[in-house]
Structure formats: C-alpha cells, structure tokens
Amino acid sequence: MESAEPLRSTARLRRDHEKITGVLDAVEALTRRLRRGRDVPPATIIGALDFFAAFVDRCHRVKEEEGLLPLLRQRGMPDDSSLARAEAEHGEARRLLSRLRQVGTRGKIDAEGTAWLETYVALLRRHMAAEEAVLFPLADRVLSSADDARLLRSFLHVERHSVGPAGLAAAFALAEAVTDACREIAVERANRQRDARAGHAVRPKLATVAPEDSLAQALELMEAVGTRELPVVEGGVLVGILARRDLEPHRGQYEWTPVRSAMTPDPVTVDAATPIRVVVRLLLERSFNGVPVVAGGTLVGMLGTRDVLRLLAQRGR
C-alpha cells in the first residue's frame, strides 16, 4: 500500500512516543543497575512511575482509547485484531503500573519489582513499535482531514481535562528530571546524595494560599505555577496543605468554598536538616507529591520528588 503524509494527530502521538521512550531508556538503565546489585535512589523510580501514571496512563492512553481507536473502527479497519491487541495491551500496562506503584511504596525495589519494571518497559516498547508500524500508518492513509481535525480536538480535550496544562508541564518536567538523574546514576556519579539534606533541594520561592481564599483562587494558582499542592499560611505560620485531590469533593462549588474547608490541617513537615533519604521514604510511604519544609513553624519551602531528582542530577555533575 502507498504511504501517506502523516496526519497532525498521528504526529502528535508520535511526539508522545518520543517523550515516553526517553523515560523508558532511563528506566532500562536503572534495571540493569539493579540486576548488578547496585543501589538505585528510590526517588528516581517513584519519579518514573509518577510520569507513567500522569502522562502515559491518564493522557496518552486516553487519547488513543477515546480518540484514535474508535475512529479507526468507525472507518472500517479491515483487521480489527490490531485494535483489540492495542486495547488489551493498554489494560495490561495499567495492571502492571498499579503493581509497580505498590512496590514503589516499599522504599526499595526488590527482585520482583525489578522484573515487573522490565516487563512494563518491554510491553510499552512492543506496543509503541506496533502502533508506529501498523496503526499510525493506517490512520494516515484512511482518515480524512476532517477526521484529523476531530482527533486533534479530542487530544486537546484530554490534555486539558485529564491532566491540565499545569499537570502536562509538570509531567514533562518530571520526565526530564528522571532522565537527567538516571543518566548521572548510570555513570556512577550520583552517589554523593547520601549526605544531602532537605535544605539542599527545597524550593524556597513558592506560592501559598490563605485559609479564607476560595478553592477557585487556589486552583487558578495551582495551574499558573504548575503544582499539585499549595501550603496554606496564616500570619506567616503554616496551618495546612491543599492538594489537587482535596478539591474533588467540592467540584462545582469552588467559587464559594474556602480553602479551610478542604485543606489538610497540621500537615506532616520536615526541617532543613532532615536527610534526603528520610524525605524520600516519607514521600513514598505516604504517597505525597511534596512535603513542607519548616523552621520553627515558619514555612521555608516545599520539597517533592522532582526536587530530589534535580538534586541527584546536580550532585552528579
């Protein structure tokens, strides 16, 4: 069959694949290191899993399952087995990722976790290769320009509503942080993180909200600065933390619901002298996106997985 010019929609999916492949390459380097019995900082693994959950599962997979695959069926794809296989692999990838995120909370990747990581990486590589070889070229041939525009609208809707602009930017930044940290670890240059403290990686310049601010104001601020949690400060003192998930029970009432009604009061905190390994264990065991760093009750900054990964990469240089 004759080849066709790539559609804008399939080009967008191919760019997604490039981003995903970069993280898969990094994780593959980590699994080789684990197989040799070498240490791997847990933050690199949890960072990669966060990227897979936020971008691969909640964004890229949904684009295909709600956009590309149904449209190919509607256009009478001659061999439905390729679509069924793609959908089955999506389901298997989700199950593997769920297992891996449970392993990530243990604070250390054991032999079983390493095997699951290798299986997940191999599955995604095989899945993307099949799409590049079969599904995307087919879409380029059989879909019209109107179909292409429809798919692009669908993809943009997924990006805006499944993860949001800030979430998408955060996922890409996380991918970059993971690949940078893994690169340094792979060449044996990141072992100096053992003496690192929370104060070495803290984000001192951060946005905060007050207890009486509305959830609408808080959400707007989250999206503007690209974060999923905000410290709640009153009179210069940290009194709570508001995470993106805390907003969900109040959906439709953001404008008149105060932050105080949704925040977690008296949140878990660390001080600047807390060892990074303790912070990483806290992030993993409690499934936190970030933890406030305080001094005498006064907020110093926030520290999350991405900040730890950035520190690992910097200390390896």
Most confident of 17-31, 105-119, 171-185: 17-31
Does residue 175 carry a pLDDT above 60? yes
Does residue 133 carry a pLDDT above 60? yes
Helix axes 164-186, 42-51, angle to 10 degrees: 140
Buried-exposed string 253-271: b where 16+ CB fall within 10 A, e elsewhere: ebeebbbbebbeeebebbe
Angle made by CA atoms 245, 249, 250, in degrees to the nearest 5: 105
Q: Phi and psi dihedrals of 143, rounded to 5?
A: -90, 145
Task: Please tell me the total number of residues recorded for the chain in this structure.
Answer: 317
Bigger pLDDT: 104 vs 306: 306
* CATH value of 194-315 in 3.30.930.10, 3.90.1150.10, 3.40.50.12240, 3.10.580.10: 3.10.580.10
Q: Look up the CATH number of domain 8-188.
A: 1.20.120
Does residue 40 carry a pLDDT above 60? yes
Whether 8-188 and 194-315 share one fold: the answer is no
> Within a 10 A sphere around the Cβ of 285, how many other Cβ atoms?
12
Q: Is the pTM of this model over 0.75?
A: no
What is the mean pLDDT of the segment spanning 259-282?
A: 86
Does residue 261 carry a pLDDT above 90? yes
Bigger pLDDT: 294 vs 59: 59
Does residue 192 carry a pLDDT above 60? no
pLDDT at 6: 74
What is the mean pLDDT of the segment spanning 209-238?
A: 89
pLDDT, tens only, 116-125 = 999 999 999 9
Does residue 48 carry a pLDDT above 80? yes
Does residue 317 carry a pLDDT above 60? no
pLDDT at 231: 92
What is the mean pLDDT of the segment spanning 212-226?
A: 90
Does residue 212 carry a pLDDT above 50? yes
Domain boundaries, the chain: 8-188, 194-315
What is the mean pLDDT of the segment spanning 242-249?
A: 90
